Structure 1
Amino acid sequence: MKKMLVLALFGLLIGASFAANCAADAYRKSCASCSFDANGKMDRSCSDGFRSSGISCTSTSYPIMSGKYAAGQCTQVDECASELSSCVAQYATGDERADCQEGSVAVCYSAADECTKKAAITCGEVQSPCGAPSFILIGMLALAGFAYYRKN
């Protein structure tokens, strides 16, 4: 029983990490992976690659919103992009290496993810009543039960 509880808690923690944090994850990964020049500027081609992966993640996470945005029917996405640009302009120091280490710009990307989630709902995206964390928790409990059954 103790092992099942540990597996369930582990599954819940993993499930919580799968929430759509596309912009924040892309920014965090670019800070960790891209090189910086002597002035603290991040390599553009590298950061653009992570930016593209963040956009792709958002499109995959919110397919209804993405389709409506492509058809010009979901202007809330543009508002989120504008808010992100304004936030970054306000908090960025000009030294991207320092911004990555300090973390205040990262807040902008987390806020953009929240804005995008709200835009998706406004644009007709249907939210799962259980969500990914619950689905993963149920799966982990089922696996733990199966392992327990096989053991006995």
Structure 2
Amino acid sequence: MSLPAPVSALIKTEQIKQVLGVVKAPEADATASVKQVLEPDFQERFDLIWLSEGALDDSEGQSDRLIAKCRDQLTSRVVVETSHHHQPTHDPHYLALGFVRCAVTEDHVYYLFDIKTYKPVPDWLNPRFWANPENWDKYRW
């Protein structure tokens, strides 16, 4: 499977071991088709899933289902590849799904979802601001 340069760079820097490429027509062992991934029995976990531009061809309306299953069930990191001519319409869509734009090449834009960086822990989310029994006599709420 030949991966795009931004995906290969991510694999190298993060030392990712298990990668699945979802393509329109699988040609290697490390790839799967959209139909295979959307099967209810497909539950294998991966470190990274790369969704190719062809896999997200929304002629059957399954791209959101594919993205959701990969993001929510199969991996903690998803890379989506789109072409530049779709970028203005897809940019808000992917940002709304929790993706960030991670790379731009001559032909494609790449979006990354990583659960570790999805939402930083807010400052107020700590035991000091909650009703802890050890604080009952110290603070008045």
Common topology (TM > 0.5): no
Q: TM-score, normalised by structure 1?
A: 0.24
Say which structure is richer in strand: 2
Q: TM-score, normalised by structure 2?
A: 0.25
Higher relative contact order (CA 8 A, sep 6+): 1
